[in-house]
Amino acid sequence: MTGNSDKPSISDLIKKNHQNRRGLKLTEKAIPTFLFICAFVSVLTTVGIIFTLLRETFTFFEEVSVVEFFTSLEWYPMGGNPSFGIWPLINGTLMVTLIAVVVAIPLGLGSAIFLSEYASERVRKIVKPVLEVLAGIPTIVYGFFALTFVTPLLRHFFDLQIFNALSPGIVVGIMIIPMIASLSEDAMNAVPNSIREGAFALGSTRFEVAVKVVIPSALSGIISSFVLAFSRAIGETMIVTVAGGASPTAAIDITSSIQTMTAYIVQVSLGDATFGSTVYYSIYAVGMTLFVFTLAMNVIAGVISRRFREEY
């Protein structure tokens, strides 16, 4: 009898169960609210950034003609007779980006094909983390690597200036290889093995399966990785600041000093312009142009992803 008296009664168990359910209901109500707040803060931050860019950009265009900004081929904001033509900065940005893409796409896609179609599980577990370590290296380190190692190496083969577009372009390409390789490999791994097995049953080689079956099936994710990598290269700052130079030019010459949009923003932000001056507001106009470029790249990536998506 004594032992039985220590056990909780049925009514106690029911009461405890109701209390637990009440606590669970409160938690279930609180979690969606917390998640909404997280999403709202993210959206509010984005709206705040866009608002700041637009406000300061309009202030800049009150002093500088929009026509000059988008048509002039000269960018000398700090001279006695300043000129604010954005095209030299766009030219430098696109040169570095295109060099980076030419380097990164073959190496990144080749790495993805190897990891997805050729590497054993053990090799994949070793190689993929090592490859992704490249994404964790600070970009300032990449910048000094480009300036002190890649540029002197290239000068043995090309007539390069100390600061040029080729060296930072190559190093930016190395930096974005993990993005292309990882996203492309994920897209390839999403292709069902039954499709591969069907191709093998028809007598295809492993390379033919990779190139003619897997890549077309994963084309949506692969192209999206290319566009996102392109967007990442456009927005790169420290590598081009350290190794690219500070000479905006509309000439297409990868051997000479250039300046990108991000490098110019860094230059002015270091204190070369007084607060409230036209030069100061110019960094917001350049930043807005850069924002439009990267937004366009992300929109294109989304369109391509939806257009070529395969569902299994």
pLDDT tens, position by position, 229-248: 888 888 888 899 888 888 88
Between CA 110 and CA 105 the distance in angstroms is 8
Which pLDDT value is given to residue 189? 87
Between CA 199 and CA 191 the distance in angstroms is 13
| Predicted confidence (pLDDT) at residue 13 exceeds the cutoff of 60 | no
| Predicted confidence (pLDDT) at residue 1 exceeds the cutoff of 60 | no
The residues near 309 (Cβ < 8 Å, ≥ 6 apart) are 220
What is the homologous superfamily of the domain 75-308 according to CATH?
MetI-like (1.10.3720.10)
Between CA 311 and CA 66 the distance in angstroms is 46
pLDDT tens, position by position, 42-82: 899 989 989 988 998 998 888 888 888 888 888 888 777 88
Q: Which stretches of the chain are DSSP H helices? A: 2-5, 10-61, 66-71, 87-113, 121-133, 139-145, 151-154, 166-189, 193-201, 206-208, 215-217, 219-234, 238-243, 261-267, 278-308
Q: Report the pLDDT averaged over residues 97-116.
A: 91
pTM: 0.82
Q: Which of 296, 230, 235 is nearest to 260 (CA)?
A: 235
Which pLDDT value is given to residue 302? 76
Q: Report the pLDDT averaged over residues 287-292.
A: 90
CB 170 within 8 A of CB 143: no
Mean pLDDT, all residues of the chain: 84
Between CA 189 and CA 97 the distance in angstroms is 28
More confident residue, 3 or 164: 164
Domain ranges of the chain: 2-62, 75-308
Q: Which of 151, 164, 170 is nearest to 98 (CA)?
A: 170
Q: Report the pLDDT averaged over residues 292-298.
A: 84
| Predicted confidence (pLDDT) at residue 196 exceeds the cutoff of 50 | yes
